[in-house]
Amino acid sequence: MQKKIKIIEDRKAFILAIGILIFIWIFFSNYWHYPSPPIDSLTAKEVIRIVEEEGSEREFMKIATENDFDWYVSKGAFYFGNNISNSLSDRGWHYQKSIPYYKSNGKLIRIEEIFTKNQFAGNLGTTLKLELYSWEEGILFLKIPKDIEFKND
């Protein structure tokens, strides 16, 4: 009798362990552990796939257009001055300031970069606001109005 009970307990533990392993595999293979990206039209899984298959370490690549904004993504080391700021200054935009936004726990949510163009006495000129979002594993998103060119494509 004692032996039968031990075998039943071992089967329950084995089945429970298999069930937990299957759940963990599904959890990680479906990217549920990633937060939602700041863009509505792509899931975390799609973003990871794009970055892994097509991504370059230092360049932003366009991934979508949503509500009159182009969305770009980049992975790895990022130098704002080289990738965006210098390109915009070549096109007549002048850097004004950066505004960081943080969660209550101190984690950086996004940075707004403000640029102006054709600013002179009596004319306020045009203001451009870029938004940089830091996501998981060093992945960065850039939100920029779709009529603004910042890259030499």
CA 121 to the chain's CA centroid:
39
At 59 the pLDDT is 75
First-to-last alpha carbon distance for the chain, in angstroms, is 76
At 41 the pLDDT is 87
| Whether 64 contacts 50, CB under 8 Å | no
What size, in residues, is the chain? 153
At 70 the pLDDT is 92
At 23 the pLDDT is 85
pTM for the whole structure: 0.71
Strands 61-66 and 94-102: unpaired
Domain assignments of the chain as residue spans, ordered by start: 1-30, 44-145
| Whether 135 contacts 38, CB under 8 Å | yes
At 2 the pLDDT is 55
Mean pLDDT in order along the chain per 10 residues (153 residues): 60 87 78 78 84 72 89 72 77 88 87 83 76 83 85 56
Instruction: Label residues 30-62 b or e (16+ Cβ within 10 Å = b).
Output: eeeebeebbbeebebeebbebbeeebeeeebbe
